[in-house]
Amino acid sequence: MTDFTTWDILRNLLLAARWTVLLSLVSFIGGSLVGVALLFARIGKSGGGRAFVKAYVEIFQGTPLLMQLFLTFFGLGLFGIDVPAWLAAGLALILWSAAFLTEIWRGCVESVAKGQWEASSSLGMGYLQQMRWVILPQALRVAVPPTVGFSVQVVKGTALTSIIGFVELSKAGTMVTNATFEPFTVYGFVALIYFCLCWPLSKSSQILERKLNVAHRNH
Amino acid sequence: MNYAFDFGWLFDYWPVLVKGILITVELTLVGGILGVSLGIACAWARALGPRWLGAIVATYVELIRNTPFLIQLFFIFFGLPALGVRMGELEAANLAMVINLGAYGCEIIRAGIQATPRGQFEAGASLGMSRIQTFWYVVLVPALQRIWPALSSQIVIVMLGSAAVSQIAAEDLTFAANFIQSRSFRAFESYFVATLIYLALAIGLRQLLRGLGWTIFPRRAAR
């Protein structure tokens, strides 16, 4: 049996952490795109669209992410596709992130005072113009800190994809443990790497909240 | 897609599902009660306790909030035995959930405590209340009332997160679904049914917590 030095353990974990970072980025960016589409349906005029997004959010926020991963993994398989773990992981995380981001952003759009809609409408602006020039610029200011904060949830959420067999940081942790029989050291390092990924995001979310809150204080 | 859905296995395996549901409920109950208690203690330490204690609690909160629940679970269940701390899978699952909710609860409750105007402490003292009485009646209860919705959603999130405890072989609802699919080869259907049950549990828990909020805090705060 080969001996593993601490450096060997750390190196293997860091190599696997690249996949955690990549999956987080894909999920966050994909989730944002889907989330924007859902947001427009949620605050739009069509009753059917609003009801659909409401149900979507309820389902994705009311069930475990792990179940969503399983259902995506085995659900895609029903169509006779041989589903690689990364595809199921990416798809499930995108849909899951979209639900949370839509809900966060809806709150931000609704936080813009109602008088702003009326004022811009009295200036003869259409719906898209109101959105582009009046509502979204204000909502965006409020939206940045919680959105950055949610990215931490995405990074942590990727850990669950190890269960459907995607080899990222957590899965690598399990594999290295099985080879070294040093769970304390290995999971300690895994936790540390997650912390190094997440903590800067958490911290910047807090700092942004303090900075961007300036406009809000004088309401 | 030519796949025939089959939920017939439900008749054979319902006892497994019921057992899984009970364990998930038990984990949520213990995790919820102890986790919120830990959260209250930590919030007190951070907002009003001695500085050194506040610093320790702050470190704990940051460590937990910035690492995945799954890894916390693995660290407790697989890692701690190296230090001589051994426990069964249910104890480990419970401990991980309490520690997890304690950290998030601490931040939520602290936000509520910090919204208490300074003058209320003095008002409490001038009425002859002890420090503990002031903390309980003047600070904590109104703070909890203020943040109850946020705390409730966090408890629901922890309940949903408990699906991960199946990975250390704690026999919760997800474990039951895994077991059934390994026997019936009906993976999609097993997880689909489990997902519906989780959804029902989440909606039920949310209603329960809302009702609990009305019972504990009957008077609306004057705004």
Q: A219: pLDDT confidence band, cut at 50, 70 and 90? A: very low
Residue of B nearest to A185 (CA): B79
Chain A residues whose C-beta is within 8 A of a chain B C-beta are 59, 62-68, 70-71, 74-75, 77-80, 152, 156-157, 159-160, 162-163, 170, 173-174, 177, 182-184, 186-188, 190-191, 194-195, 198-199, 202
What pLDDT sits at residue A45?
Answer: 84
- Chain B, 22 to 81: residues with Cβ < 8 Å from chain A are 62-63, 65-72, 74-75, 78-81
| B85 inside 8 A of chain A by CB | no
For B153-190, b/e burial (b = at least 16 CB within 10 A) is ebbbbbbbbbbbbbbbebbbbbbbbbbbbeebebbbbb
CB B69 within 8 A of CB A64: no
Q: Do B68 and A152 touch (CB under 8 A)?
A: no
Q: pLDDT value at position A215?
A: 54
In a domain, B163, yes or no: yes
Judge whether B4 lies within some domain: no
- Domain count along chain B: 1
pLDDT of the residue at A44: 85
**Residue A4 resides in a domain:** no
Domain presence at residue B5:
no
Average per-residue pLDDT for chain A: 92
Rounded mean pLDDT of B90-94? 97
Answer yes or no: is pLDDT of B220 > 70.
no
What is the pLDDT at residue A83?
A: 86
Closest by CA to B96, choosing from B63, B58, B70, B60, is: B70
> What percentage of residues in chain B have a pLDDT greater than 90?
70
What CATH number has the domain bearing residue A153?
1.10.3720.10
Domain hosting A199: range is 13-217
Mean pLDDT confidence for B148-164: 96
- Residue predicted with more confidence, A214 or B39: B39
Name which of A147-156, B10-19, B92-101 the model is least confident about. B10-19
Q: At residue B140, what is the residue type?
A: L
Residue B223 predicted with pLDDT over 50: no
Tens-place pLDDT, residues B177-199: 999 999 888 889 999 999 999 99
User: What's the helix, strand, coil split of chain B in %, to 5?
Assistant: 80, 0, 20
pLDDT above 50: residue B222: no
Q: Which of B79, B161, B191 sits opposite A184 (nearest CB)?
A: B79
Among the ranges A132-136, B19-23, B212-216, which has the highest mean pLDDT value? B19-23
| Contacts A–B by Cβ distance under 8 A | 121
Assess if residue A41 is contained within a domain: yes
Residue A80 binned pLDDT confidence (cut-offs 50, 70, 90): confident
Residue A24 lies in a domain: yes
Min Cα distance B220 → chain A (Å) is 23
Which band of pLDDT confidence, cut at 50, 70 and 90, is reported for residue A82?
A: confident
pLDDT at B221 over 70: no
pLDDT band at A16 (very low <50, low <70, confident <90, very high): very high
User: Would the pLDDT of A214 be above 80?
Assistant: no
**Closest Cα in chain B, distance from residue A160 (Å):** 7
pLDDT at B196: 96
**Alpha helix locations (H) across chain A?**
6-43, 47-62, 65-78, 85-111, 114-122, 127-129, 136-157, 169-180, 183-212, 214-217
**A63: closest chain B residue by CA:** B199
pLDDT value of position A61: 96
Q: Has residue A5 been placed in a domain? A: no
B116: confidence class by pLDDT, cuts 50, 70, 90: confident
B87 Cβ under 8 Å from any chain A Cβ: no
- CATH for B86: 1.10.3720.10
In a domain, A1, yes or no: no
* Helix or strand run (H / E) with residue B48: none
Q: What is the mean pLDDT of residues B167-179?
A: 95
Q: What angle do CA A152, A166, A21 make, to 5 degrees?
A: 35
Residues of chain B found within 8 Å of residue A66, distances taken between Cβ atoms: 163-164, 166, 174
Range of the domain at B38: 10-216
Number of domains chain A contains: 1
Is the CB of B83 inside 8 Å of chain A's CB atoms? Answer: yes
What residue has token string 């589903």?
Answer: A83
Q: What is the ipTM of this complex?
A: 0.91
| A61 is a domain residue | yes
Percent of chain A at pLDDT exceeding 70: 96
Residue entry with tokens 């190296």: B82
A216 pLDDT more than 80: no
Domain annotation covers residue B222:
no
CB contact under 8 Å between A78 and B67, yes or no, is: no
Residue A102 vs residue B220, higher pLDDT: A102
